[in-house]
Structure 1
Amino acid sequence: MIKEEIRKALSNANLGGALTRFSEAYAVSRRKAYEGLDFEEIREKIASAKAYVAEHLDKVVQTFIKSAQANGAKVFYTKSPDEVRNYIIELAKKNNVKSIVKSKSMATEEIHLNKYLRQEGIEVDETDLGEWIIQLAGQRPSHMVLPAIHLTRYDVSDVFTKKVEPVEPDIAQMVKFARKHLRRKFLAADMGITGANIAIAETGTIVIFTNEGNGRLTMTLPKIHVAVVGVEKLVAKMEDIFPIIKALPRSATAQLITSYISFVSRPYTHIDGSQKEFHIILFDNNRSAIAKDPIFKQTLQCIRCASCLNVCPVFRLIGGHVFGKVYTGGIGTILTAWTEGLRASKDIQGLCIQCGNCVKVCPGKINIPELILEIRKRLAKEEGLSFKTKAIYSVVNNRKLFHSILRAASKLQKPFESKGLIRHLPFFLSELTQERSLPAIADVPFRDRFKKMKQPESKIKAVFFAGCLIDFAYPEVGEALVKLLNAAGIEVLFPDEQTCCGAPARYSGVMDVAANNSKQNVEALLSVDADYVVSACPTCTVALKKQFIKDIKEQNYNEKLISSAQRLAEKVFDASELVNKLIKGGRIKFKELPEITFTYHDPCHLIRSLNISQEPRESLISAGLKLVEMFESDTCCGMGGSYSLKFPEISGTILRRKLENIKKTETKLVCTDCPGCVMQIRGGIDKEGLQIEVKHSLVVLAERIK
């Protein structure tokens, strides 16, 4: 089912075009919108204010209720979506409500309110232009802020023509058309329903952001105003709203401020002079359970800006109708798991490629990829593993067996291998080589080559953690690192007992295997005394520095092993960082060779998890190369480890965009510092028959040392 939805989305040129154009424009506009502001300071304040509410949710809820009631609002607090719907339906019946207008509200989407109102014979119309369009189209929002972003003006014209009356696909005409028809709805409505962007406990005030003015008309024209507010919108004090006011429009649509910000504390007086009814429905729907979960409670720091969707390389290809349910994208996956149940997120959680692009732009400082990994863990624990998955990871869990199979595969691949690449695979495996060639497994792995390398003895020593790809597919990267460190007077050690860093198991939620890999590696790497532990794969570096400790703690290994993992982490360097440090210190020098141009691709884990981006560029420039930056150099290449095997259609589409950006630089050399990225980009370039080299930066540097 999910595969078919993906194929349909990828074949929809209008969808991909609309989302990509918006994503490109958003990146530029967002940078401008935040100029002169300290984004880190703003989001630290937002995260702190929202985290306080999560820690004191019951107290903040009661404070809000007391304050709002003192203002004259009628407040109904419930944990049940059914009770929210019933309250509104009973209120409508009591007041003989025949028609309702609604301002944009994800909370009412979450409880499918419109459907239940229509079943009771009550007319309900969305008044946000995008929401009205998709209501007429019979669809759900594809984006939390821009619900109709997946539709072109021709699509919209067609919807209006079929559902209302003919109108030309001219944007100005269609806006005028919508204004005319919606105005009638406002004037006839008996009740107005809104959501809220913020609810201030201290004052009992709700705050609503809109760009079209429809929110204010919804609140003021009908005699009854109902605000449906999830408890995650609460802040404790008035001062807590100011960083949100700064961040929400800038992060959502890259505006400096929205057109209308409305503060509502008490009932308005109706235009006929009568007193309006003002009802606030404060609802939970499992949010209090999120607040009590030590891992997921950060979810309540979300301000619903959807900036995570705007920068997601997967979302901009397939949109929210595939990547999400009521809530879309990465954050939508997490919200779905809690509001609809863990199993409801089963298919969509796998769509996250774990590039981390969302983390750097989230004004709530939510680590979305980490929370999606936690969903995978819990799904694996709740549903168990398939026989196939168990078989695969039982092999990975056994280092000797795993390595023996890789060695055997290097012989068995011969009928398909040519010049170090596998360009075609037979039968059901053919899809794996559709978008890219695959690297052949090396005849002689790095671990065997290392034993034949002559090194100078030195008091300064470094342990090299190779990882699977360098050890068995790209041993030349390992050899390059040894040469570079030797040139700096560092002796390299390589404990044979090291194994997979655990990333494949970790990213699949198979935590017992990941933890066993972590344990084996901690013991192996600390079996020799060294000043540094070096990795030339950022995914492995992240595992060494951060994940091993976490895995071992979660699987309740003993304190001695946890302490060892922490001691190991303190010694870990990514090779790109250490080599740059040695070059700057004058310990690695280069020949004077003709200058060649190159472009650079930033591996996701390197730039976002390790915050390393300039160091490898500086090293290559120091070696006599000239950099030509590519567009979106820091955007994922589509590899994502096993993601490229699970979703080759998405991975391949992301790769094609990366190749187009490389071609536009007109360089003949692409450098990167991740063997996985080398595999993905080199495989794509070979498949297209391009005369462009793709090399790990260490290989290029080693070729030029004195």
Structure 2
Amino acid sequence: MDEIYHSLKNRIASALKQENINKSRKLALNSIRTKYLALIDQIPIKEINTRFRKIKQAAIQNLSQLIELATARLRENGCSVYYVTTPQDVFKILDTLINESLVVKCKTNTSKEIKLKGYLKARNIEVVETDLGDRIVQLSQTRPSHPLIPSLHVPKAQVARLFKIDKDPSQLTIEDIVEVAREGIRKLVLKANIGLSGANAIAAEDGLICLEENEGNQRLTTSLPRKHIVLAGIDKIVPTAEDALLIMKAAALGLAQRSGVYLSFISGPSKTADIDFQLTYGMHGPRELHVILIDNGRQQLIKNGYGELLYCANCGACVNCCPIYEQIGDAFGGDAFIGGRGLLYLSQTKDSKTAFQSGLNFCTGCQACTTVCPGSIQTYDLMLTVRSQAVKQNLILPIHQKIAESILQNQNPFQEPPSTRCKWLPKNLNSHSAKTDTLLFLGCMASYRVQSQVISTIQVLDSLDIPFTYLGTAEPCCGSVLRNIGLEAQFKKTQNYCQEKFLGFSEIITICPGCYSTFKTAYPDFLQDHNITVRHLIEVLPNYSNKFKQTNTKVTYHDPCHLGRHFNLYDPPRILFKKLNFQFQEMDYSKENARCCGAGAGVLSAFPNLANSIAKTRIGDALSTGAETLLTSCPFCAYSLSQIAKDIQVCSLQEFIAQCCLK
């Protein structure tokens, strides 16, 4: 295990050192995000995504019937249709269909999944990628670094060399490169008799292959060669053409577009009946259209409870906002698919160990991907399940094992005795032992690492005359860390211990979003049975705004992922800021689009350089507002961000109130 851990750390370190590639990727992602934020006010994105999920959910539930219907309608339209279960089955069919030494191909993620490139190479068949990005990747002999912008990692000067453009780089424009690439690719397309494509969707009722693109290369590849072969996963099948159109609409949003430039609907081989009204196939378009519907574990994926992964539109929206991908690119993900979804898919189509070795524990659980995903794929919920499966195979990082042992032995992740949890509290604040129904749950991070948050919380609640008590050295760990790294059985032990401590209380106030999220999502039945309400401090403070002094300090605010995207608690802090007359400066990426701090789900402890790199980007967002102070409502976020911040003060909201707003 030490060897795997060392390899993962090297994987991150190597990716972080690629400064030019990282710079290009971040510029591209920021551009996409900016355009996406502008579209939010113009397009009903949430409504589109809701409809998308319903369509995909219904299609996956009725997949067997849709496969039969699509097969029948496509054959009625003159297509040859094949249903296959493995990549080897695909290759057997291609053995009979490809009898030429040149094939042109347009974007199809399924080809990467089945490793088509290796098969064609073994047969000495030249395959020419017609998508410009894929062609650049092909010529550079690298791997795609983004689902829709595969050559994101290849700089302009290198692209020019790949296309053998002999011109002074300082005088060379991107238009020059595109022109050369266009002419070269077109010549090869005109020469080829076989074109390979994927499908954005297949409309079963009408037997339609639906494609979306920007460059026009798909139309060339599917129209000019005499034979068109479609490689499509069975999950691409939806009931109607209207459904397919919405699928493509949602996919375009991944690149912050209203729609792709070209939408193509192909129902069969080209045909004409202009001579004696005799139907003849193969006029300007292909004479043959072969559709290969590929299972490759998808039906089993559905049976195993992972069918939600097939709601993916391959739009790239998830990685566009992923804090891990932003920092290390395709070092986060599997061979065929990048990012968290790629790792989940890898864990089910291959095994947990391969996913673990590819970065299963890189994910911070921020849920930014789910927020923008057209299918609202619950990536992190699935991630927890897969991590749990991995742990059962003894796949756990050494540092996480040590943390788990400390929690079970000491009720904190820091290898410190429970007796030290609150001993440091000033005597004037250590007197909340009176009987009350309200429990202030402090959490491990605040109690052991950012103790100023505990002190300020007590000061603020005392100033408001809110009666409460806390458990002191008897306070247990909430178990959030155990749950996040996949230790289900161990988490149950801490859960039971916490529940014993909570008996007799009607309200729990937390200052840690991790504790809050754990109680709300893992303890719901217990809380309901015992009529216990859980609130985060940020839900309490706005109700007492009239008891605080106003201040005109210029501040900005970081939305903790476990309060924001997990529970939509965006308004309470902003209501408080307005009532207290703060000069509040919103960051460009805020609320549901806020960047993560990088500390979650054991990433800070296991991969501090990755967490720090994420935090540095977030500090950059804060500095761009011109604020004097960066506020947040999470001990982990405050700790992580304060380690990086140099030109801006970072503190919790309650600390700021204790310093500036108490009367």
TM-score (norm 2): 0.90
1:116 maps onto 2:119 in alignment: yes
The alpha-carbon deviation at position 404 of structure 1 amounts to 8.3
Distance in 1 separating the partners of 2:553 and 2:247: 47
**SS, match of residue 226 in structure 1:** strand
Distance in 1 separating the partners of 2:213 and 2:623: 42
What does residue 548 of structure 1 align with? 523
**8 A contact 1:463–1:493 mirrored in 2:** yes
Change (3 A) 1:401 1:178: closer
Distance in 2 separating the partners of 1:262 and 1:401: 57
Greater shift after overlay, 223-232 or 602-611? 602-611
Distance in 1 separating the partners of 2:442 and 2:425: 10
1:694 maps onto 2:650 in alignment: yes
1:127 maps onto 2:130 in alignment: yes
Q: Deviations over 1:650-680 (max 9, x none)?
A: 2122222233333344433221100011111
User: Which of 235, 239, 255 is the matching residue for 1:253?
Assistant: 255
Change (3 A) 1:142 1:399: same
Letter in 1 for 2:424: V
User: Which of 607, 610, 625 is the matching residue for 1:647?
Assistant: 607
Structure 1 residues without counterparts, runs of 5 or longer: 411-440, 550-562
Letter in 1 for 2:637: C
The alpha-carbon deviation at position 386 of structure 1 amounts to 6.8
Distance in 2 separating the partners of 1:219 and 1:279: 11
User: Which of 431, 434, 439 is the matching residue for 1:452?
Assistant: 431
**8 A contact 1:334–1:372 mirrored in 2:** yes
What does residue 579 of structure 1 align with? 541
**8 A contact 1:623–1:701 mirrored in 2:** no
**8 A contact 2:324–2:332 mirrored in 1:** no
Distance in 1 separating the partners of 2:312 and 2:620: 34
Change (3 A) 1:386 1:368: closer
1:3 maps onto 2:6 in alignment: no
User: Which of 44, 56, 63 is the matching residue for 1:57?
Assistant: 63
1:282 maps onto 2:293 in alignment: yes
**8 A contact 1:544–1:569 mirrored in 2:** no
User: Which of 32, 39, 47 is the matching residue for 2:53?
Assistant: 47
**8 A contact 1:442–1:473 mirrored in 2:** no
**SS, match of residue 440 in structure 2:** strand
Change (3 A) 1:99 1:693: closer
What does residue 142 of structure 2 align with? 139
User: Which of 252, 265, 268 is the matching residue for 2:267?
Assistant: 265
**8 A contact 2:505–2:532 mirrored in 1:** no
Letter in 2 for 1:29: K
**SS, match of residue 247 in structure 1:** helix
**SS, match of residue 280 in structure 1:** strand
* TM alignment of 1:99-248, pairs within 5 A: 99-161=102-164, 169-248=172-251
Greater shift after overlay, 654-663 or 199-208? 654-663
What does residue 305 of structure 1 align with? 315
Identity %: 27
What does residue 76 of structure 1 align with? 82
Distance in 2 separating the partners of 1:407 and 1:383: 28
Distance in 2 separating the partners of 1:101 and 1:133: 15
Distance in 1 separating the partners of 2:490 and 2:105: 50
Distance in 2 separating the partners of 1:91 and 1:292: 32
What does residue 25 of structure 1 align with? 31
**8 A contact 1:406–1:472 mirrored in 2:** no
The alpha-carbon deviation at position 33 of structure 1 amounts to 2.8
Alpha-carbon RMSD: 2.6
What does residue 276 of structure 2 align with? none
The alpha-carbon deviation at position 542 of structure 1 amounts to 0.6
What does residue 278 of structure 2 align with? none
Distance in 2 separating the partners of 1:654 and 1:273: 52
Q: Deviations over 1:17-37 (max 9, x none)?
A: 111111211112112334333
Q: Deviations over 1:243-297 (max 9, x none)?
A: 32322112x2111111111111111147657971111000011111121233x22
**8 A contact 1:167–1:173 mirrored in 2:** no
**8 A contact 2:270–2:285 mirrored in 1:** no
**8 A contact 1:209–1:261 mirrored in 2:** yes
Q: Deviations over 1:158-200 (max 9, x none)?
A: 2222xx9879542111111111111111111121100000011
Greater shift after overlay, 660-669 or 131-140? 660-669
User: Which of 476, 481, 488 is the matching residue for 1:511?
Assistant: 488
**8 A contact 1:600–1:629 mirrored in 2:** yes
**SS, match of residue 335 in structure 2:** coil
Q: Deviations over 1:79-128 (max 9, x none)?
A: 111111221122113xxx22110011110111111221121122211100
What does residue 590 of structure 1 align with? 548
The alpha-carbon deviation at position 477 of structure 1 amounts to 2.5
**SS, match of residue 500 in structure 1:** coil
Letter in 1 for 2:266: V
**SS, match of residue 313 in structure 2:** coil
**8 A contact 1:73–1:278 mirrored in 2:** yes
**SS, match of residue 469 in structure 1:** helix
Change (3 A) 1:23 1:406: farther
User: Which of 43, 53, 63 is the matching residue for 1:37?
Assistant: 43
Letter in 1 for 2:571: Q
The alpha-carbon deviation at position 482 of structure 1 amounts to 3.7
**8 A contact 1:442–1:474 mirrored in 2:** no
User: Which of 624, 641, 657 is the matching residue for 1:681?
Assistant: 641
* TM alignment of 1:450-529, pairs within 5 A: 451-453=430-432, 461-495=437-471, 497-525=474-502, 527-529=503-505
Structure 2 residues without counterparts, runs of 5 or longer: 1-6, 272-280
1:615 maps onto 2:625 in alignment: no
**8 A contact 1:235–1:241 mirrored in 2:** yes
1:533 maps onto 2:508 in alignment: yes
The alpha-carbon deviation at position 504 of structure 1 amounts to 1.4
What does residue 358 of structure 1 align with? 369
Distance in 2 separating the partners of 1:337 and 1:51: 21
TM-score (norm 1): 0.85
Aligned length: 640
The alpha-carbon deviation at position 400 of structure 1 amounts to 6.0
